[in-house]
Amino acid sequence: MSTLSVYRLKQWLKNGESPLATRLFHIAKAIRHFELPTPHILNKLFYGLHKTIITQWQAFTHLVFYVPAFKGRLNSYGKRTLLYGGLPFFSGPLAMTIGNDCRISGQTTFSGRTNSDNPTLTVGDNVDICWQTTIAVGNKVVIGDNVRIAGQGFLCGYPGHPIDPTERARGKADLDSQVGDIILEKDVWLGSRVSIIGNVTVGEGTIVASGSVVTKSLPPFVLAGGNPAKVIKPLDISSSITTSSTNKEEVNYEA
């Protein structure tokens, strides 16, 4: 039976006004929605078995395949690397290094600009890079120790296309003037869906609110947000940082 014939049969069963079509439609629907009358305790047993099998399989593939394959793409790496959800996607001539205790989602993308000499991504210790994050390296991206990048983050060190529409239509690459470095100093926290363009430094300990677009550098120890991102307020760090009052540096919190 052809695909068209099957489609017409389904439409006749679903929309037909004859008693036969209605009866057959209800029978087909009952068959489709048939359920085994399993007791709740058995349902819980099945779910527990499912979770056990999935968890053990993920742990096995993580140990014997994903982490070794991931390290095979890196220039250098530290200890206790944790991947979850598979293997990240790499594009372009990217040189990448990571430190110790990094946790990286397998649903991430790391790319290096083809026209750059040696695009380099440097990741420090104890860094989280969460799911569906994209890091596009023009020349250099540096992620400091203890940085947290929540889901769907976007670090855009190069745009990939020129500004001129004629050149863009011809498939030309972006210009060197459109490329910029991105530096996340230690203890930075980027909320979900934060985008950062090139030539931006986010200062130590700064938190960027979800959905923000960072187009200019941000000072340390502030809460920033918006599109474009601006300083909202300074963060109270007196309880976590002990600095002598005689040598404490003044922080400019002006937007």
Question: What residues are labeled active site?
Answer: 161
Compute and round to an integer the Cα radius of gyration of the chain: 26
- Residue ranges in the chain assigned as alpha helix (H): 3-15, 19-32, 40-61, 67-73, 165-169
Peptide bond into 19 cis (omega under 30): no
Contact 226/212 with Cβ under 8 angstroms? yes
Number of Cβ within 10 Å of residue 124's Cβ equals: 21
C-alpha closest to that of 155 among 187, 201, 116: 201
- Cα→Cα distances 253→52, 62, 109, Å: 50, 43, 33
C-alpha closest to that of 200 among 214, 212, 213, 217: 217
- Cα→Cα distances 114→93, 100, 157, 169, 181, Å: 6, 28, 12, 19, 15
Number of H helices, E strands in the chain: 5, 19
Q: Maximum Cα–Cα distance for the chain, whole Å? A: 91
| The residue type at 40 | H
